[in-house]
Structure 1
Amino acid sequence: MSAPCAVPAVAPRLLDVVRERVRYLHYSLRTEQAYVHWVRAFVRFHRMRHPRQMGRVEVEAFLTWLSSERSVSVATHRQALSAILFLYHQVLGQQLPWMQDIGRPQRKPRLPAVLSPPEVGAVLARLEGTHRVLAQLLYGTGMRITEALQLRVKDLDFDRGAIVVRQGKGGKDRAVMLPAALAPGLREQLRQARTLWQADARAGRGGVQMPDALERKYPRAGASWAWFWVFPQAAHSVCPRTGVQRRHHLFDQTFQRAFAHAVHAAGIDRPATPHTLRHSFATHLLQSGTDIRTVQELLGHSDVSTTMIYTHVLKVAAGGTRSPLDVLAASGGAAASTFAMH
């Protein structure tokens, strides 16, 4: 009876070490949450055994269960494997041969969902206020939704017509265009954000969260207007890492719900998410003749081969290769063919 009582105490300590290691390596909060989730699931799957008591057999059994019983996607399977390998290598300090031998399921290339310009316009027309500005920003710059939500006031340069994306995927910075058509909407968004910032200042709030150790280096910067969110949340929330109550940026789930309603209201039957606006941005730029290297830089892709996927979309889209059926119809062959059948 003593063993079941003693084992649960191991898991919380283990997860705390996982969190500490993730933060030491400056991984994102989402990566931390994902890794903690999969480590917890792995331990629970094997009835609370400590990972030091397990190895390749147990890891493969867990991954097999995920793919065969839970039918998870390739991306989810790879994420779970990455979390477990992180546990053994970075947390437990083990670098064993079997860790290199476990096969990673390969992602099959899939064409991204892309909306046509009229469809994008129809969706934007059914969004209002901040959600509309945010959707215009995603389509007008190709930013990921997390990059857009984490924008600070200082990242907008209206004079040069540029936006600086800080710590994008892979921790890289890049600059994108600030569309002239979006400038009025962004200025209005800043006006509304400033109202919230002034209210926080009057209430003596501690300011917004700062990246890395900047909060210690510049203690008062978090309360400044320059570091305030472009898209702040209306209410305050508790930071999951520090436990401090402060104003966070807009939650992506809130925007995703509004976007889904707009897609449905626009009568678009194909699946579309906010990330579809990024795909549409890249495809429409290439379709207009923009150099693929430029598109690569705007999207923040490390390898141009990632950007090449959008050229495959163009090959079958309007303006791409012409179908022989259209050639036949244009020459009158379709009518003759129909007559011959009768």
Structure 2
Amino acid sequence: MDVEVCIKHFALDYKFRMSPTTLRIYQGFIKQFINQLGKTVKEITKKDVRNWITYLSAEKGYQPSTINSKIAALKLFFNYCLEEGLVSQDPTKDIKFVFVKENPPHYLLKEQIMQLRAFLEGQTQERAIMEVLYATGVRIGELVAMEKKDINWTERSIIIPEGKRKLGRIVLFTSECAEHLKAYLDSRTDNYPTLFVLFNSDGTRTNNGKIVEEWFRYYSKKLGFKVTPHTLRHTFAAHLAQRGMPVECIRTLLGHEKYQTTRIYAKLFDLARKEMYD
């Protein structure tokens, strides 16, 4: 079977097993690997895979986490090929993932949160976005996908219908967040269903979170410390840990499907609690 056709069939089979974004990224990794080798799927060996991993690390300088994502894509693809009888053996079977040093995620101190709030004073939409990210711990993709109908103002909660790996959940927000969110919504004159309306530099409407990420790069430059939408997600978790919330509860609010995914946050919880104690 032609390589392109094989990858297409793989994508169709996994269409409902993972998010569209993850599937698209995995397809890119698989194509990159096979195109570089110039071999058919049947001709690829374990040595080819190991040489590629060495090439990614030594010559391309990829981070271990990125290399592991590529390995995961290949493992999934060749497992599919084996099940479909497209290969007689899986060349990734005994391939190990690269060791990744797990550093605690970076988060902001409460003083830095206050500085960020002061910097955004008068910026109605940007302040509302910042408050929602900090109060709920949602991912940037979840933020831009939120709709006004998902909000329960009485309970101060927002439904996240499809998070990462299509895991739905409910997140809560504070009264301070509600105040700024209402101020932003009251300032709007449009009828768009989305909670936040974003525009590209050319004036076209978008739901791409990169616009918000660009804003945060600007904040970092002006404030003198790094802050990103994901930093606020880490900060949300850290500050809850400092208040004594159990790890399992924070894991649920973050929308992590498996405890393994939250493992790196364990160090963050320990660090956050130690700083509170000190």
After TM superposition, the score normalised by the length of structure 1 is 0.69
SS in 2 for 1:176: strand
Q: Report the equivalent of 1:111.
A: 104
RMSD value over aligned CA atoms? 2.7
1:133 and 2:128 correspond: yes
> How many Å separate the matches in 2 of 1:72 and 1:28?
24
Change (3 A) 1:42 1:145: same
Q: Report the equivalent of 1:292.
A: 247
Letter in 1 for 2:71: L
Letter in 2 for 1:308: A
> How many Å separate the matches in 2 of 1:292 and 1:183?
25
CA contact (8 A) 2:7 2:27 kept: yes
In structure 1, the gaps of 5 or more residues are: 1-8, 198-227, 236-245, 321-342
**C-alpha displacement at 1:91, in angstroms?**
5.1
Q: Report the equivalent of 1:260.
A: 217
1:158 and 2:153 correspond: yes
CA contact (8 A) 1:193 1:232 kept: no
1:55 aligned to which of 21, 45, 68: 45
How do 1:226-237 and structure 2 match up within 5 A?
Answer: 228-234=193-199
Question: How many equivalent residue pairs?
Answer: 267
In structure 2, the gaps of 5 or more residues are: none
After TM superposition, the score normalised by the length of structure 2 is 0.83
How do 1:251-330 and structure 2 match up within 5 A?
Answer: 251-268=208-225, 271-301=226-256, 302-303=258-259, 305-314=263-272, 316-320=274-278
Q: Report the equivalent of 2:30.
A: 39
CA contact (8 A) 2:150 2:159 kept: yes
> How many Å separate the matches in 2 of 1:305 and 1:84?
24
Q: Report the equivalent of 1:86.
A: 76
CA contact (8 A) 2:78 2:90 kept: no
CA contact (8 A) 1:259 1:274 kept: yes
Change (3 A) 1:50 1:98: closer
Identity over aligned pairs, percent: 22
> How many Å separate the matches in 1 of 2:45 and 2:78?
9
Change (3 A) 1:11 1:113: same
Larger radius of gyration: 1
Q: Report the equivalent of 1:212.
A: none
**C-alpha displacement at 1:26, in angstroms?**
3.9
> How many Å separate the matches in 2 of 1:319 and 1:34?
42
1:75 aligned to which of 65, 73, 84: 65
